Amino acid sequence: MPFRRLRRRLRGTAAWLLVAVVAGGIAYTVTKNSTGPHGGSGPIGSSDPAGAARRADPGRTPGGWQDWNRWLRGAADFVNPVVDGLWGPERMAGATEGERSFDGSEMPRGVSDPEPDAVDARPVARPYGETAPTAGRLFFDTPKGPAACSGTVVRDAAHPGRSNLVWTAGHCVHSGKDGGWLRNIVFVPGFDKSAAGGRGSAAPLGIWWADWAQTSQQWIDHGTSNAGAGAAFDFAVLHVRQAAGATRSLEETVGAAADVGFDAELSGSRGPIDIVGYPAGRPFDGSALFHCADRPGSFSVAADQPDMYRMGCTMTEGSSGGGWLVRRGDGALVLVSNTSLGSRPAAWLAGPHLGADARRVLTDVSRRFAGS
């Protein structure tokens, strides 16, 4: 049953891309590198002092953040050299509010279902490895410093039971039409800051570096930091790996992976969707996993873009990229969208409809590593 479309214009809706900036400095040393303008020309494991200097001060050297509008924009340009020891506990700690907001009245709009009632975000029960094994937190560097999003381990048709794929939002890996690929992207499955305060680690299952990322061409060409054009195509897939010599896949390590459901119809009599993520804007701090359950409606940010889904949920910045999940009749977990936008004050979240373009992104990344 397709979504009901009510002819109701959005009025003064304030929303943001749900990225959270992480507290901490940006000084570090490169001990491993890979090819590309990041610095270095050798394979992973090679040394490159010049590359280290560039990366230690990316704002003042050629190819640094001052060249953001020209730096590594294209779909084939992604490069993410491993930086040993970069994402330690101090650098991961302390997420603050993001700054990417927009006034919906400034944009061309279509029609949406009525705004949903707010649904309070609730903490996911620990241990996360049992209650939400596919969830994790993304960390990466932006021109304004370290930042955080959320992600979901998804199945890989080329590697049944051994997937190394993570689903997230496009703006968590690429800044859209006004920027390029983000840097130092890692996925931390089961992230739990509270564990670091005791005997455990905030990264109980390791830190997984992205060795490839792909988002939609629509996001690269039209995505904006003010959550406008391109939002309906705000999705991405990462391929990740641990340190050299690791033999277990991400899926084997966490014990699960979600299927991806394309062209899902989420209205009508279907059960609620569960949104999972790491909100970091107030009153949250990014230290723990939360979720919301609701039934989605249709949401439009622009008349010339596909409708998105929208659900009541009070999660804030940092929850971007988090999975919208359902259970099939056979018990399998299925990802049907990812968090992209949220209202201010926090009352609802919106995510893209995953159609042919999203399927193509997943298929391309899977095929790229099919022989590995």
Token reading at 106: 């400034």
| In contact, 275 and 349? CB cutoff 8 Å | yes
Q: Taking 70 as the threshold, does the pLDDT of residue 109 lie above it?
A: no
pLDDT of residue 154: 98
Q: What is the pLDDT of residues 225-246, one digit of tens each?
A: 765 678 899 999 999 998 766 7
pLDDT at 272: 83
Q: How far apart are CA 220 and CA 230, in angstroms?
A: 8
73 to 97, 176, 210, 250: CA distances (angstroms): 26, 8, 17, 28
Candidates 154, 164, 363; CA nearest to 258 is: 154
pLDDT tens profile 190-202 = 999 877 655 557 8
The 8-class DSSP code of residue 258 comes to B
Q: Tens digit of pLDDT for each residue in 23-54?
A: 433 322 232 323 222 222 222 222 332 333 33
Residue with tokens 């992230």: 191
pLDDT of amino acid 212:
97
Angle formed at CA 90 by CA 125 and CA 175, multiple of 5 degrees: 85
How far, CA to CA in Å, does 248 sit from each of 104, 161, 213? 45, 11, 20
Global pTM reads 0.83
Percent of residues in the chain assigned helix, strand, coil, to nearest 5: 15, 25, 60
Tell me the pLDDT tens digit for each residue of 344-365. Answer: 889 999 999 999 999 999 999 9
Is 168 a residue whose pLDDT tops 90? yes
Instruction: Indicate the average pLDDT of the chain.
Output: 78
Say if residues 87 and 28 touch (Cβ distance below 8 Å): no
Residue predicted with more confidence, 227 or 166? 166
pLDDT 10s digits, 249-285: 999 999 999 999 998 876 543 578 999 999 998 899 9
Distance CA(93)–CA(345), nearest Å, equals 24
More confident residue, 145 or 80: 80
pLDDT at residue 18 greater than cutoff 90: no
Q: What is the pLDDT of residue 343?
A: 87
Percent of the chain predicted with pLDDT > 90: 49
Identify the band that residue 333 occupies on the pLDDT scale cut at 50, 70 and 90: very high
